[in-house]
Structure 1
């Protein structure tokens, strides 16, 4: 059991003893009660030291955790609350605390219709009721789209990652003519640009499967799960988006942003590797070190006339080709 959970069990036990009006507790009694409580939770002997309980009492008395418990020692031997109505579970909150809690509730409400957060609905309602925030409009809005195809798969995929379950997924990529079955070992759920992906292990390599291309999911109970101890920060560290190549090395991508739009790219970098190479009246030249992928191209094309790719030539030619074809879509011959 974690040390934090141990401490919470001890605090709860001490609180129960200190507010008990019908029994006198010595320090040794409190030690025994804490040891017994931990034994009940862990199912094994758990000796709590005298110093640990003394520190717990000291923490409960202090402002460290917001308790400021009125713990007193009477007859130089017994411990109790000087206020018989006090409990660490009845801590009052000030107006500032209520505002902070209300802001947190408003953020949680953004997710309450999202399938994987459905079990939170009751908790959110209780929080709203307890801080009287039901009539306050939200002042924080998060971008989400519950109508995205594939969100119905979130629950089973989330549970499979959490509980280490192998899945059989019927999947049809945008390029495939027919659907195919994949036996996969789910490692992570990844969201990028309002689309969700399952990062999984399949036949000796990491795969990226879009949720909106999944047609059927079945749990493979008889197959042993392979846990790759997946490090998401490392895996996605050299890309923009969710598409990672196992063979491609990251390249220096150099681009120029017009003076008017450079501040936006400075304050919201394309990638964590971004740095400024030059800045003058013609614009700001940036450099990032990433793999060349579809998401990078979409990001650049989304900047329109505000960006010019300088290097590498391969990416520069791709962007030029895409823009040329886009211009043709607006030529007079295509007017309807």
Structure 2
């Protein structure tokens, strides 16, 4: 069974008590020490039970735990606990089997980042840990992530990451899909985001009031710029709350959008909501109407269209008409292709 944070905190607290040969620790003292340690870590404690401490001691004594040299002496009707070897500590012991299992599972997940700049250390660490603990991990045999290993632009992640953390302005050579020539852009980078298997960097270009968004696969060169960094107070977790994807405009406000979903598609939309604001407003045997609160953008339109006839926008009128127009253009092109 995986070890949780409170268990680890209790083991550390008990280890400290057992190593202290200047005080006798009875069961009540051990409970108090564990409660104090948990409180200092999390700011609250539900109260450690006596049975938990007995179980913790049993685990620490076991070969599956730390094989700790814990002894107990009786004073009257009470018992205190201590290490027979005061130089012993669980922090100097090799990983237990349960800890090794957790580490192995973590390494399997970390393997998803192999090949990405800024995460080169993972491959080296994984190899060393596999050799040290004889793990023999082959993550691709049991789990796979949706990641394009040949994605253009990912080589810039490391430089951009460092520039963000070190607050370093940059000069970026950039060519958008719609431009014929490359331009140089001054950017004070704030945030990296991946969407639809593409990476984007968000920052401040002094020429514009709004945040600038650049796709990494359109960047050809990044150079450090000698200038004072322009800070921001934007919380980018909140910044993206009202949109799907990465296209954001201050010209538009979040609005209520009503979408009708075919009943056959509903289980998929229910378990994987279109947006965090999704709420059911009407449900029949044939369809489910849901309400979304967001700023409609190109990514949202594309998301709706990918479901074809299974999803229809009902409100607002301007968005419904825009989707209808895109469908008409699509039909027109299909007709021309005959």
What TM-score, normalized by structure 2, do the two folds share?
0.74
CA distance in 1, matches of 2:137, 2:293: 48
CA distance in 2, matches of 1:311, 1:239: 17
Q: How many matched pairs?
A: 289
1:237 corresponds, among 237, 241, 262, to 241
Instruction: Tell me if the contact between 1:67 and 1:91 (Cα under 8 Å) persists in the aligned partners.
Output: no
SS of structure 2 residue aligned to 1:248: coil
CA distance in 2, matches of 1:277, 1:158: 42
1:99 corresponds, among 98, 101, 108, to 101
CA distance in 2, matches of 1:90, 1:107: 25
Mark the CA change 1:25 to 1:226 in structure 2 (over 3 Å): closer, same or farther. Answer: farther
Alpha-carbon deviation of 1:197?
0.7
Give 1:158-197 correspondences, 5 Å limit: 158-197=161-200
1:312 corresponds, among 303, 310, 316, to 316
Per the alignment, residue 148 of structure 1 pairs with 151
SS of structure 2 residue aligned to 1:327: helix
Instruction: Tell me if the contact between 2:203 and 2:213 (Cα under 8 Å) persists in the aligned partners.
Output: yes
Mark the CA change 1:72 to 1:228 in structure 2 (over 3 Å): closer, same or farther. Answer: farther
Alpha-carbon deviation of 1:102?
2.0
Give 1:155-304 correspondences, 5 Å limit: 155-203=158-206, 204-220=209-225, 222-304=226-308
Alpha-carbon deviation of 1:157?
0.3
Per the alignment, residue 115 of structure 2 pairs with 113
Alpha-carbon deviation of 1:326?
2.3
Deviations 1:55-105 (A, max 9, x none): 59x969x649x867657899xxxx9842466542315423x4443322211
Per the alignment, residue 330 of structure 1 pairs with 334
SS of structure 2 residue aligned to 1:230: coil
Instruction: Tell me if the contact between 1:258 and 1:284 (Cα under 8 Å) persists in the aligned partners.
Output: yes
Q: List gaps (5 residues or longer) in structure 1.
A: 1-7, 19-23, 28-53
CA distance in 1, matches of 2:137, 2:255: 52
Give 1:29-48 correspondences, 5 Å limit: none
2:125 corresponds, among 123, 126, 143, to 123
1:90 corresponds, among 70, 89, 93, to 93
Mark the CA change 1:135 to 1:167 in structure 2 (over 3 Å): closer, same or farther. Answer: closer
SS of structure 2 residue aligned to 1:116: coil
Alpha-carbon deviation of 1:156?
0.4
CA distance in 2, matches of 1:177, 1:211: 18
SS of structure 1 residue aligned to 2:176: coil
Deviations 1:155-204 (A, max 9, x none): 10011011111111122222333222221111110111111111101224
SS of structure 2 residue aligned to 1:244: coil
Instruction: Tell me if the contact between 2:256 and 2:291 (Cα under 8 Å) persists in the aligned partners.
Output: yes
CA distance in 1, matches of 2:159, 2:167: 11
CA distance in 2, matches of 1:67, 1:118: 36
SS of structure 1 residue aligned to 2:189: strand
Instruction: Tell me if the contact between 1:187 and 1:230 (Cα under 8 Å) persists in the aligned partners.
Output: no
Mark the CA change 1:160 to 1:135 in structure 2 (over 3 Å): closer, same or farther. Answer: closer
CA distance in 2, matches of 1:227, 1:120: 31
